[in-house]
Amino acid sequence: QPSIPDKPFNIGHWNYAPITMWLRARRPTMEKVIADTWSTLKCSASAISSPISATVETNLPGFGYKVLGVVGALLGYNLFVMCITDRTQAYMFLEKLRLYALGDELVNKGFFKSDAEEVEGRIEAVAHTTGRLNALWETAIEDATATKSFDTLCSYLLVDESSVPAIEQPISWRFSMMPYGRDDPDSQTFG
C-alpha cells in the first residue's frame, strides 16, 4: 500500500522514486501480460490433459481398471528404461573408463597433492638425486685415485640419458589451490 494516495499525484512527486510513476503508467500492461500468460498456461494444460483424461475414462471405466492402467504404465516405463540401458551400457562403460583414465592421469601428475605433499616430494627427489650424485662422485674419485688418472675421473662425466631422471614440470594448478570454505576470501563474491 503506498504511503500517499494515488489520486492527488498523477505526475512526479518529491516523495516518489522516479521509477514509481513509470511503473504505475505500465501497470495495466503488466497486469494484462501476466493474466494472458496464466490463461495460456491454463488452456494449454487443459488441452493436453482433457484428451488423456477422456481416453482414460472411456477405456478404463472402473477404479480397478485405472489401477491396472497405472501399473501397466509403470511396467512399460520400466521396460523402456531397461531397453535404453541395455543399448547404452557399453557407451556408459567406455565413458566411465575415459573418466577413470583422466582421473588417474591427474593423480599421476600430482593434481590432487596438497602443498605439503608437493614440497615433501620435491625434497625427497632432491635428496635422492644428491645421494645418487654423491655415490657417483665417490666411485669416480676412488677409481681415479686408484689409477692415478684424470681421464678416469673425466670418464664418469659422460652422462647416460637413461640413468638421469626426468625433471618434473611444475603444475600450474592443483586441487588444493582452489578456493573453498565459507570464510575463504577467494570464495566470497560480495562482502
Tens digit of pLDDT at every position of the chain (191 positions) = 455 555 555 565 666 677 777 788 888 999 999 999 999 999 999 999 999 999 988 888 889 999 999 999 999 999 999 999 999 999 999 999 999 999 899 888 888 888 788 888 889 988 998 998 899 899 999 999 999 989 888 888 887 777 777 777 766 777 777 767 667 776 676 65
Residue type (1 letter), 81 = V
89 and 82 in contact (C-beta within 8 Å)? Answer: no
* Residue 6: predicted pLDDT: 56
- CA–CA distance, 177 with 30 (Å, rounded to integer): 48
66 and 60 in contact (C-beta within 8 Å)? Answer: yes
Half-sphere CA count of 88, side-chain side, radius 13 A: 9
In the block, which residue shows the cell 560480495?
A: 190
21 and 12 in contact (C-beta within 8 Å)? Answer: yes
Q: What pTM does this model have?
A: 0.43
53 and 69 in contact (C-beta within 8 Å)? Answer: no
The cell numbers describing 152, all together, are 678416469
pLDDT digits (tens, 9 = 90+) for 58-108: 888 889 999 999 999 999 999 999 999 999 999 999 999 999 999 899 888
- CA–CA distance, 153 with 168 (Å, rounded to integer): 29
Q: How far is residue 110 from each of residues 17, 117, 127, 146, measured CA to CA in Å? A: 57, 9, 19, 45
The dihedral formed by the CA atoms of 137, 140, 145 and 147, expressed in degrees to the nearest 10:
180
* Residue 190: predicted pLDDT: 67
* Residue 4: predicted pLDDT: 55
